[in-house]
Amino acid sequence: MEYLLTYDVDTTTTEGQRRLRRVAKICEGYGIRVQKSVFEVTCTTAQMPSLRQQLADVIDHTLDNIRLYRLATGTLQTVDRLGVAQLAPHHGDHIV
């Protein structure tokens, strides 16, 4: 399954900066970072609840903002790009 995960974490406090690092670290276990706050995720349907729960445990639900877009298979290999954007080297499910 392909997903696009985007986040805005409020970093106006030290605690927020810590949350941002933790969110990024979690995402790194499930996908490839393609922009500062954008990860391309490939995982199975069964693995998605684990990713979601880890994020829910870390964020401040009154300040932070995470969106998870389900993509059609193949979208990550055909994404339209401008500037320095590159295709990410996905090879099946990315759980590490």
Q: Name the residues that contact a second copy, by CB under 8 A.
A: 4, 6-8, 34-38, 52, 55-56, 59-72, 75, 78-85
Shortest spacing between CB 26 and a second copy, in angstroms: 12
Report CA torsion sign: 22, 23, 26, 32. negative
In the complex with a second copy, which residue's Cβ is closer, 84 or 96? 84
Contacts of 21 (CB under 8 A, 6+ apart): none
Q: Give the residue from 89, 92, 2, 94 showing the smallest Cα distance to 45.
A: 2
Cα–Cα distance for residue pair 94/96, rounded to 1 Å: 6
Q: Please, which residue, 24 or 68, has the CB nearer to a second copy?
A: 68
CB of 15 to a second copy, least distance (A): 14
* Residue 46 Cβ vs a second copy, minimum distance, rounded to whole Å: 15
Q: Is 64 annotated as a binding residue?
A: no
If 0-12 CB within 10 Å is exposed, 13-18 middle and 19+ buried, where does residue 1 land? Answer: middle
Residues tagged in the binding site annotation: 8
Residues tagged in the binding site annotation for Mg(2+): 8
